[in-house]
Structure 1
Amino acid sequence: MQIKNIEVDQSLKELTNHRTVALPIACYETTIRQYIQGYIPLHWHDEIQFVLVVKGEATFQINEEKIVVREGDGVFINSGCLHMAEEKNQSGCVYICLNSSPHFVLAQELYIAYVYPYIQATNLPYLYVDANDTWGKNILEAMMKIKQWIQQKPPYYEIDIAAQITLIWQNLIINGFPLEYDQTEALKHYRMKQMLNWIHFHYGEKIMLDDIASAGQLSRSECCRYFKRILKTTPLRYVTDYRIQKSLVLLKNVDANVTEIAYQVGFNSTSYFIDKFRRAMNMTPLAYKKYKMDIRQTNYLIRGISQ
């Protein structure tokens, strides 16, 4: 299954239901460039996530850090961490994504001792999974088995998957990481999510820097430092980028009017919207709309021929 758009709530929490029919997990293949935006936008979820890059390479941003994951390697992304991804060097990156509820990793009797401290640790937002390390190789091979079992559904495959999830977690924690919980660090990311939450709820309105800073209970200068450090951008530039993202979905509508969309997503003039859209997407909103319509028409014709 290829997910081509990540639905999030106002706090950027992903709304995708990460589970099979019987298990609180999901395992699917993702081609980054097939997403609406051409990359995987910033989001977070309660599930822990393991990624295995099977083609090309990708740059992942997890909280305020960026890492490049090579073909054949992977990355662990901890519960609740903001993250996004884009392919590197137009490599056509494809990766397998395994999401699991932390509570599914181990029995409840072991959860407090062997899971909870890791998902609460502020010094473990992610971990690079290198296929050249024995523990990394074990994790990546287990992911492939899980993906295969979900597709083929052999007898008792749910039990096999549960065993492999436990094996994955054991190989992750066997490294003996010195876990830390920093209240200041935790508060920083809470405030960041509060500011993003406010932007995503009010993006269609006039937004001032003071409004964003107030949502995070920060001064204007501290607000700017938060965005620069964590998201590598300014608060108002993030607002503009988010408005462009929202417009992409609306422009897919056949009856979409560029001027109406501009005002709907918070721009106060059509010309300003067109200028910012062109800078972000290397085409005008109208050209993007025509491009999406042509793709739909081509897909329709292909389905008609195949039938």
Structure 2
Amino acid sequence: MRRETLRENRIHGNPSFPVSVYPDVEQLNGNCVLDCHWHDEMEFILVRSGSALFQTDMQHTEVNAGEALFVNSGTLHAGYLHHDDHCVFSAIVFDLKMLLSPVPDVIQQRFIEPVLHKALLPPIHIKGTEAWEREVLESLDKILRDHETRHPAKEISTKAQLYAIFASMYPHMISAAGEPPEANTGLSKVERVKMAIGYIHEHYQEPVRLKSIADKAGMSEGHFCRFFKQMVQKSPIEYMNHYRVQKASLLLEQTNRKVVDIALEVGFDNLSYFIATFKKWNGVTPSRYRKEHGSQQAAFPPLSL
């Protein structure tokens, strides 16, 4: 399945049931399993086979087959092959607000709102070695099975399993109050990178200078480039070109516009450079890509996940 690298602005599921389930997601080209991105919803990633090194903000966690990763809302996250040569995972993306009650009750006040407002932080890595972890993994499997088999009551079952998951995780959550503050009182570096990514997404069709991106993040060019590469595994220019190529891929799939017009549309002013960059990220030329994918629609809108 093909994914885009961007901050998601779409609704997972629908307003009355804000849950999306993505089974059997395989890695992208090279060692990339999940492009760096973030979204407002929470997410569970369950590794089905292989393993990968997942990044959540500044933390890196190796997740093996049969284990799961919890991604909190607003967390910059990505995944890369590490010790293994492949990784297949499933993802459950959901809005925790679906567990709120119409009338505030003890469940909402004691258990849901502290997690929603990040006063309590759930454990990130669910290995399955302890009883509570196995309970979480079983509930995740149940959600995935119900959606894959189109269970007629999957909505109520999913909601029940999410309650069960947070009940199992609750005794192992930690208070955010004890977390050390940032060294400075300004924006964290993670937030600065997210601002830079947002700037690229808004201006990718224009000539964008590295200095403009670094200025948006409030960093010097050198410092920004080093930290961005550490967080995203691509330089700012590589990330921008990758994003442009993904936008071009969608246009090649969904329209009959000329390749040169698409190149200009996504911010490339040199056709040869566009073709070379496109081939670098997709493994084929734009014309070949259109022949192979032109009849398909985007199967996996931005994850993400």
Cα pair distance change 1:212/1:106, threshold 3 Å? same
**Residue 46 (1) aligns with residue 40 (2):** yes
* AA partner of residue 256 (structure 1): R
Question: Who is 1:305 aligned against?
Answer: none
Partner SS for 2:40: coil
Question: Who is 2:131 aligned against?
Answer: 134
Cα pair distance change 1:122/1:223, threshold 3 Å? farther
Question: Who is 2:143 aligned against?
Answer: 146
Shift of residue 112, structure 1, vs aligned partner: 5.0
Partner SS for 1:268: coil
* AA partner of residue 195 (structure 2): Q
Query: What are the equivalent positions in structure 2 for 1:1-307 lying under 5 Å apart?
Result: 4-5=2-3, 12-19=6-13, 22-33=16-27, 40-85=34-79, 89=84, 91=86, 93-105=87-99, 107=101, 108-109=104-105, 110-118=107-115, 121=118, 127-150=124-147, 151-154=149-152, 158-179=155-176, 180=179, 182-183=181-182, 187-253=188-254, 255-293=256-294
Shift of residue 51, structure 1, vs aligned partner: 1.8
Partner SS for 1:29: strand
Alignment partners' CA distance in 2, 1:271 and 1:292: 21
Alignment partners' CA distance in 2, 1:198 and 1:122: 29
Shift of residue 206, structure 1, vs aligned partner: 0.8
Alignment partners' CA distance in 2, 1:230 and 1:125: 22
- Between 230-239 and 192-201, the greater mean CA deviation after superposition: 230-239
**TM-score in terms of structure 1 length:** 0.77
Alignment partners' CA distance in 2, 1:61 and 1:87: 11
Shift of residue 203, structure 1, vs aligned partner: 0.7
Cα pair distance change 1:61/1:127, threshold 3 Å? same
* AA partner of residue 213 (structure 1): A
Shift of residue 142, structure 1, vs aligned partner: 0.7
Alignment partners' CA distance in 1, 2:10 and 2:88: 19
Partner SS for 2:224: helix
* AA partner of residue 141 (structure 1): E
Shift of residue 143, structure 1, vs aligned partner: 1.5
8 Å contact from structure 2 (residues 121, 173) kept in 1: no
Shift of residue 130, structure 1, vs aligned partner: 0.8
- Between 242-251 and 16-25, the greater mean CA deviation after superposition: 16-25
8 Å contact from structure 2 (residues 52, 80) kept in 1: yes
Gaps of 5+ in 2: 297-305
Cα pair distance change 1:228/1:21, threshold 3 Å? closer
Q: RCO greater where, 1 or 2, for CA within 8 Å and sep 6 or more?
A: 2
Alignment partners' CA distance in 1, 2:164 and 2:122: 20
Alignment partners' CA distance in 1, 2:118 and 2:186: 10
> How many pairs are equivalent?
286
Provide, for residues 221-243 of structure 1, a one-character-per-residue CA deviation record: whole Å limited to 9, x for no partner: 33223312321332222212221
**TM-score in terms of structure 2 length:** 0.78
Q: What RMSD in Å do the two structures reach over aligned CA positions?
A: 3.4
Gaps of 5+ in 1: 297-307
Partner SS for 1:96: strand
Shift of residue 207, structure 1, vs aligned partner: 0.9
Provide, for residues 13-41 of structure 1, a one-character-per-residue CA deviation record: whole Å limited to 9, x for no partner: 31342236843333341422589xx8543
Shift of residue 153, structure 1, vs aligned partner: 3.9
8 Å contact from structure 2 (residues 123, 172) kept in 1: no
Provide, for residues 204-259 of structure 1, a one-character-per-residue CA deviation record: whole Å limited to 9, x for no partner: 11111111022223332332233123213322222122212222112224623222
Provide, for residues 84-137 of structure 1, a one-character-per-residue CA deviation record: whole Å limited to 9, x for no partner: 34567553x443322222223465444454345445559969711112322221
Q: In proportion to residue count, which structure has more helix?
A: 1
- Between 141-150 and 81-90, the greater mean CA deviation after superposition: 81-90
Alignment partners' CA distance in 1, 2:9 and 2:189: 23
8 Å contact from structure 1 (residues 121, 181) kept in 2: no
